[in-house]
Amino acid sequence: MDLKRVLFLCTGNSARSQMAEGLLRHLAGDKFEVFSAGVRPTQLNPLAIKVMSEIGIDISKQKSKSIKEFFGQQFDYVITVCNNAKQTCPAFPGKYGKIHWKLEDPAEVQGSEEDKTKFFREIRNKIDKKIKKFLMKDKS
């Protein structure tokens, strides 16, 4: 059985798409080959690593990658997690499911470390719910 290929795409590939990659790999990694990338990649956000480790998922070895690394590759699903990525997402070869999840960028939140961490947790939990719904629909 071929693994389904999923690409999560956001602007910086620092938080939302990285958490989504880690969650899908954790929840159903035996069914999917999971990737994430950014339109303008930066670096993995330490708070993303922290809030994922709180639920037993280690994303500390993941790296921020450019969408350019994936040009020409085929995917079964391309999931954008922000409006910027949705608007600038290139076309990939073949047929694939395009899914858009509008999620606020936790890396943009101002305030105390506690406020930022709380918002990262909220976004992580939203992504977790969306991935579980996605897995319910993709029962192949």
Amino acid residing at 81: V
Q: Which of 97, 96, 93, 117 is nearest to 107 (CA)?
A: 117
Q: Is the dihedral of CA 131, 133, 135, 140 positive or negative?
A: negative
Q: CB count, 10 Å around CB of 22?
A: 28
- State the catalytic residues: 10, 82, 89
> Degrees (nearest 5) of the Cα angle 140, 68, 90?
65
